[in-house]
Amino acid sequence: MEPRELSSIMAQNWDLLKRVERRSGVDVKNCYQCGKCSAGCPMAFAMDYVPRQIIRLLQLGFVDEALRSRTIWICAHCQTCYTRCPKEVDLPRLMEALRQEAGRAGLVTDKKVHLFDRAFLGSVERYGRVHEMGLIVQFNLQSGQPFKDAGLAPALFLNGKISPFPSRIKDSAAVKAIFQRVRSRGGAEH
């Protein structure tokens, strides 16, 4: 990385950082970089920055780097870091806020995770419940891997674990209305 001038980087990213902090309820200055979050993170092996480094990037104002990281999509929200953090920094909430910000900014570095979440919520909005088979078919097609897990389907089908028909609640309009009201408040847009 070439030399960067931190004060101007912080100034450029100040509003974005404050928005991420407000949405997550996390004050990134609370972290004193002990690294306990990252030592226990079950997904750290697949991340480009470990969770501690994501906070460090934010502390220094490198919000863009955090938004472009794979880490924010690979976090499994297992709550191990938050449970162990001596400063009670809610990292899973921070990862959520970063994902939402990355989605808004069109900086999705893990299309598969993003597609999965969208397909999941699409199913909930349509039927009131998740239709697992529909979700997987949609996810596989959109992510360009139509035969993924196809070998598991016959056993799931024979054991009554998946059905081609969604279970739809009668009052699905009530659930659609929840999505609409959240949207009208500026949320759930991606």
Partner 1 sequence: MKYAYYPGCSLHATAVEYDISARLVAKHLGLELWEIPEWNCCGASAAHNTDHLLALALPARNLAIAEREGLDVAVPCAACFNRLKASQVAVRGSEEMRNTIKEIIGMDYQGRVEVRAFLDVVVNGVGLEKIQGLVTRPLTGLKVAAYYGCLLVRPPGLTGFDDPEDPQTMDRLVEALGATPVPWAFKTECCSASLATSRTDIGLWPIFRILKHAKASGADCIAVACPLCFLNLDMRQGEAKRRFQESLDIPIFYFTELIGIALGYPPKELGLSKHFVNPLPLLESKEILRHPATRRETA
Q: Which of residues 45-84 bind partner 1 (CB under 8 A)?
A: 45-46, 74, 76-80, 82-83
Is the Cβ of residue 10 or residue 93 nearer to partner 1 in the bound state? 93
Residue 34 amino acid letter: C
**Residue 158 CB, nearest approach to partner 1 (Å):** 9
Q: Answer yes or no whether residue 110 interacts with partner 1 by CB under 8 A.
A: yes
Cβ burial, residue 4 (10 Å; 0-12/13-18/19+): exposed
Who contacts 34 (Cβ-Cβ below 8 Å, separation ≥6)?
A: 52, 86
Interatomic CA distance for residues 84 and 53, integer angstroms: 17
| CB neighbour burial string for 50-65, b if at least 16 within 10 angstroms, e if fewer | bbbbbbbbbebbbbbb
Nearest to 41 by CA among 4, 87, 76: 76
**Residue 74 CB, nearest approach to partner 1 (Å):** 7
DSSP 77: -
Q: Answer yes or no whether residue 170 interacts with partner 1 by CB under 8 A.
A: yes
Specify the stretch interacting with partner 1 by CB under 8 A; choose among 3-11, 26-34, 54-62, 95-103: 95-103
Residues of this chain that bind partner 1 (CB under 8 A): 23, 42-43, 45-46, 74, 76-80, 82-83, 96, 99-100, 103, 110, 112-113, 115-118, 120-121, 123-124, 128-130, 132-133, 136, 139, 148-149, 152, 155-156, 159-163, 167, 169-171, 174-175, 177-179, 181-182, 185, 187-190
